[in-house]
Structure 1
Amino acid sequence: MFGPHNLQPPRGATHAKKRVGRGNSSGHGTYAGRGLKGQRSRSGKKLAYDAFEGGQFPTSRKFHVLRGFNNKWRVPFQPVNLGALQRFDDDTTVTPELLESVGILKHLREPVKILSEGEFTRKLTVTAHGFSAAAKARIEAVGGTAVVIGADQSESGATA
């Protein structure tokens, strides 16, 4: 009779526990599966971690010197220059969605930062996740507004 109440693993899938240090006739005698000599064959304190290299300068400590540093908290922005916004008419509200629809952005997975490169004379309301100081100054100099997504309205430069 089959059912969930009498399931068992197939024959050969399970093995008896290895009983080391129980004499030669156990199959794990003499050295008890530890090999011959060396630090790992001795009794006493176990090694601190799996990557221990016998006192040699550990590879994990070398890598940050040899291979550079990657900041795991870095937020990758998609840069957009002010020159690319010149194509929009005055009094347009420029959002990341609009930038994606006209092909300036490839996707909306990463935040957008506006940089000040290029010619810019349009009076626009630009909404983005970040602005360089020079870009924000240039937008406001021509009468536009720079709105930071996710910030309080008092911080973004927009008036309430």
Structure 2
Amino acid sequence: MKLNELKPSVGSNKKAWRKGRGISTGNGKTAGRGQKGQMARSGGSTRWGFEGGQTPLFRRMSKRGFNNYNFVPQSVEIVVSRLNAFEDGAEVTLQSVHDLGIVKFSKAVTSLVILGGGELKKKLTVKANRFTASAKAAIEQAGGTAEEV
């Protein structure tokens, strides 16, 4: 094989249509642009994002502004059985739960919720914002007290 014998593969090279060269060519007169209208004119394309006069999507969407998500008060939920990590007779509060490393939370967390589940084997004083009925019963059954803050 020599350089002068190289040929492109069949079908890879196509001749370009010569537009506007008479009706018999099939691409004469309107040159494949159809009859009149915006796309028949020179420079007749629309800009990026144009939706025919309707307000474009990128203008309908908000681009900036305040988001309250980071400041919405959040709560930490703990199952009663997790409280067995505390020593007998200890006081359980939101801060003590954080210090012991039972749960990790951000500054937005402002309340502690105790859920029923499992068994409590220690006598504790639990101070939380909310208790489920089964959680309160489990704490009192173990000899502790459940105080709503």
TM norm structure 1: 0.44
Larger Rg: 2
* Bigger strand share: 2
TM norm structure 2: 0.47
